[in-house]
Amino acid sequence: MSEWTDDPYALTHLDALESEAVYIFREVAGEFERPVLLFSGGKDSVLMLRLALKAFAPAPPPLTLMHVDTGHNFAEVLHYRDRVVAECGLKLHVVSVQQYIDRGVLHERPDGTRNSLQTLPLNDAIRQHRFDAVFGGGRRDEEKARAKERVFSLRDEFSQWDPRRQRPELWQLYNGRHAPGEHVRVFPLSNWTELDVWQYIHREHIELPDLYYAHRREVFRRDGMWLAPGDWGGPRADEPVETRMVRYRTIGDMSCTGAVESDATDPAAVVAELTASRLTERGATRFDDRLSESAMEDRKREGYF
C-alpha cells in the first residue's frame, strides 16, 4: 500500500503498523505486571521507545528499560542511549557482560565476538527482576529464525524457546498466559521491514546515532565486511586500516557488526538506498549470523533474542 492516499479516512501502511504496535504495547500493559523494554540505542529499540511513548501519552510508559552491554559497544551509541533515557525520565538497567567475564562466569570466544555472551546475563536479569514480559525489536524480515517467531513468544523457566510450542495468533488475539518462572518475549515490530522502519523514522523525524548515516571512518576488511578498529582486538597485522565513506545498517557488538559503503547522509537518502538494495540487513553486516546455517535459531533456543 502506498504511504500517501487521497482518502482522508484511509490508513497508510505506516499508520497501520503504528496502530498495531501501539495496540500490542497496551495489551501487554493490561496483561502483565512487570514488563521491560530492551533498549540499546539501535534504530529498532529507538523506534520501540517512540511507539511506547505514543501508546501511553501523556503518561510515561509503565515499563522499565534494560540494556545488556557487551563492553564492545560503540561509544557514540552509549552516549546517545544515556541521553535519550535521561530525556524520557525512565529507569535503565544496564547488565554488563564484562562483569561476568571478570568473575570467570563467562569466557571470551576465540573469535572475539561477544553477542552470544549476552544470553546468560540477559536471562539472569530477567529472573532477578522477575520481568514477565520482555519487549524486543526483532522483525520477521531480519533472519529466518526470527521469521518463525510469534508476536507473543513464550519462554520456559530456563528462558528457552521451542519453535514447535508456539501458540496461534488469530485476529490479533495474543495469549500471554505463563506459569511462575516463565515469561513472554514480545515483538511489536514483527510485521515491519527494514524499509518500513526507515520510512517511519523519516516521517516522524526520529533522531538516531550518527553511525546510521554515511560518514568517513577508519575501517578494515575481514571476511568481506568493513569492521571498525577497537579495543576488542581488531585489526590483525595483515588487515590494513583504510578510511572510507560508510554507514551501519544495524548496530551491535563492534567485533561482529560490519559497515556498508554508502553516500546516504540523511533518512531520505537511506530510504532511497534501501529501496534499491538487494542485500538483507543482517546477512550483509553481521558476522555472528554467518557462523552456521542455524546460528540465530541456536542462540534463540538458549534464550537469546
Residue 179 DSSP code: -
Nearest CA to 260 out of 215, 290, 230, 292 is that of 215
pLDDT > 70: percent of the chain: 93
Q: How confident is the model at residue 286 (pLDDT cuts 50, 70, 90)?
A: low
Cα 119 to chain centroid, rounded: 14
Yes or no: say if 121 and 96 are a contact pair by the CB < 8 Å rule: yes
Residue 224 DSSP code: T
At 48, which helix (H) or strand (E)?
A: helix 43-56
Omega before residue 235 within 30° of 0, cis: yes
End-to-end Cα, the chain, rounded Å: 30
Per-residue pLDDT reduced to its tens digit, 178-228? 999 999 999 999 999 999 999 999 999 999 999 999 999 999 998 888 999
Q: How confident is the model at residue 282 (pLDDT cuts 50, 70, 90)?
A: low
At 269, which helix (H) or strand (E)?
A: helix 267-276
Beta strands 215-222 and 241-247, pairing class? antiparallel
